[in-house]
């Protein structure tokens, strides 16, 4: 690169290109960030003042009151607890399940490798569809249980493939010496493979955690009648729905679930809830960026 410096003598069209490109990127960054800033500003603004309108990127009358208000919503607290629980349990179990299967698939000598591999990959193309799945959950008596948040989402073909392709690239010698020392297959997986798979496991953990945290549909369809099993996303959905529908539309038949307290919650409070549902994931992802970028590419190449 260095010896080409004199080639870098920037011509006018080249510089124009760069300037336009920077402007373009600036616009994109603004479009990406503004909505979040706006939501944050409104959530930090006094709720009666918000009604006057005109809050854009920063609050006019700063207050943390809205966050204090949402602490009093019982269903939100329950929802938050359930969301945290399902995210933690779902991620831990999902990681163990996916990595265990992935390890057996990375073992070239495993007899049933082909069979297991096909069984898992086919799920990417096949799905029973909404209603049969619903009926199955009903028959398994998983409706109105916490388990419905964990069980159906335990293994994802995509995640297994990503972990496996990482394991495929590990040096064989690692396992060989352990095998000679008499370690069994599970010990090798647990003590040797898992620790060196940290980068890919971090990626998958992020994927599963994001999916679990953001999921609202299973609450909506399976657990909507049981208030103690509600999740944060579902509560937010009800609150946002109730205002958007009452603003112009009238309730949809299937969606008529919002209760009275939700209906009257002012905009600032709604935005505070939105912030609460976003923040946990948004704090984590920048630190895992270099891992998940690698993970994404690995999975795509396969």
Stretch 225-244 residues interacting with another protein (CB under 8 A): 233, 236-237, 240-241, 244
CB of 71 to another protein, least distance (A): 20
Rounded CA-CA distance 159/161 in Å is 5
- Between CA 239 and CA 228, with CA 129 as vertex, the angle to 5 degrees is 35
Our finding on whether 277 is near another protein (CB under 8 A) is yes
Our finding on whether 10 is near another protein (CB under 8 A) is no
- Between CA 133 and CA 196, with CA 205 as vertex, the angle to 5 degrees is 130
84-to-36, 79, 159 alpha-carbon distances in Å? 22, 9, 21
Q: Say how many C-beta atoms besides its own lie within 10 A of residue 178's C-beta.
A: 17
Q: Which is nearer to another protein, 4 or 72 (CB)?
A: 4
Candidate list 2, 5, 72, 131; residue touching another protein; CB under 8 A:
131
* Counts for the chain of helices (H) and strands (E), in that order: 15, 0
Q: Which is nearer to another protein, 156 or 229 (CB)?
A: 156
Rounded CA-CA distance 92/102 in Å is 15
Candidate list 64, 119, 147, 264; residue touching another protein; CB under 8 A:
119
67: exposed, middle or buried (Cβ count in 10 Å: 0-12, 13-18, 19+): middle
Candidate list 40, 76, 120, 162; residue touching another protein; CB under 8 A:
120
106-to-100, 138, 189, 235 alpha-carbon distances in Å? 10, 36, 11, 41
Our finding on whether 38 is near another protein (CB under 8 A) is yes
Candidate list 128, 141, 191, 264; residue touching another protein; CB under 8 A:
128
CA 124 to chain centre: 19
Q: Which is nearer to another protein, 58 or 285 (CB)?
A: 285
Candidate list 101, 161, 197, 258; residue touching another protein; CB under 8 A:
101
SS3 label, residue 30: helix
Rounded CA-CA distance 81/87 in Å is 10
CB of 205 to another protein, least distance (A): 13
Q: Which is nearer to another protein, 63 or 104 (CB)?
A: 104
Q: Of 189-218, which residues contact another protein (CB under 8 A)? A: 189, 210, 213-217
CA 220 to chain centre: 18
Our finding on whether 180 is near another protein (CB under 8 A) is no
CB of 172 to another protein, least distance (A): 4
Q: Of 71-100, which residues contact another protein (CB under 8 A)? A: 97, 100
Q: Which is nearer to another protein, 77 or 179 (CB)?
A: 179
CB of 154 to another protein, least distance (A): 6
Rounded CA-CA distance 165/197 in Å is 11
Q: Of 137-156, which residues contact another protein (CB under 8 A)? A: 140, 151-152, 154-155
219: exposed, middle or buried (Cβ count in 10 Å: 0-12, 13-18, 19+): buried
Candidate list 35, 72, 195, 225; residue touching another protein; CB under 8 A:
35
Candidate list 43, 166, 230, 270; residue touching another protein; CB under 8 A:
270
**Torsion angles phi and psi, residue 45, rounded to 5:** -100, 150
């Amino acid at each position: 690169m260095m010896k080409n410096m004199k080639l870098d003598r920037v011509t006018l069209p080249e510089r124009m290109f760069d300037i336009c490109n920077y402007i373009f990127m600036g616009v994109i960054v603004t479009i990406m960030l503004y909505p979040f800033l706006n939501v944050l500003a409104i959530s930090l603004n006094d709720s009666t003042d918000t009604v006057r309108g005109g809050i854009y990127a920063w609050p006019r009358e700063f207050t943390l009151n809205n966050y204090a208000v949402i602490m009093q919503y019982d269903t939100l607290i329950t929802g938050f607890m359930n969301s945290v629980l399902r995210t933690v349990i779902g991620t831990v179990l999902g990681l163990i399940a996916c990595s265990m299967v992935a390890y057996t698939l990375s073992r070239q000598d495993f007899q049933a490798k082909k069979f297991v591999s096909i069984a898992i990959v086919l799920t990417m193309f096949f799905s029973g569809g909404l209603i049969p799945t619903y009926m199955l959950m009903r028959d398994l008596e998983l409706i109105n249980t916490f388990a419905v948040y964990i069980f159906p989402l335990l293994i994802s073909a995509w995640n297994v493939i990503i972990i496996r392709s990482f394991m495929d690239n590990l040096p064989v010698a690692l396992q060989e010496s352990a095998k000679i020392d008499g370690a069994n297959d599970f010990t090798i997986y647990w003590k040797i493979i898992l620790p060196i798979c940290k980068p890919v496991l971090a990626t998958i953990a992020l994927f599963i955690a994001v999916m679990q945290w953001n999921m609202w549909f299973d609450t909506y369809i399976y657990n909507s009648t049981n208030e103690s099993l509600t999740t944060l996303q579902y509560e937010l959905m009800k609150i946002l729905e109730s205002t958007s529908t009452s603003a112009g539309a009238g309730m949809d038949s299937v969606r008529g679930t919002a209760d009275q307290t939700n209906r009257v919650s002012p905009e600032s409070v709604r935005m505070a809830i939105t912030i609460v549902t976003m923040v946990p994931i948004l704090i984590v992802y920048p630190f895992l960026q270099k891992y998940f970028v690698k993970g994404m590419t690995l999975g795509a190449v396969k």
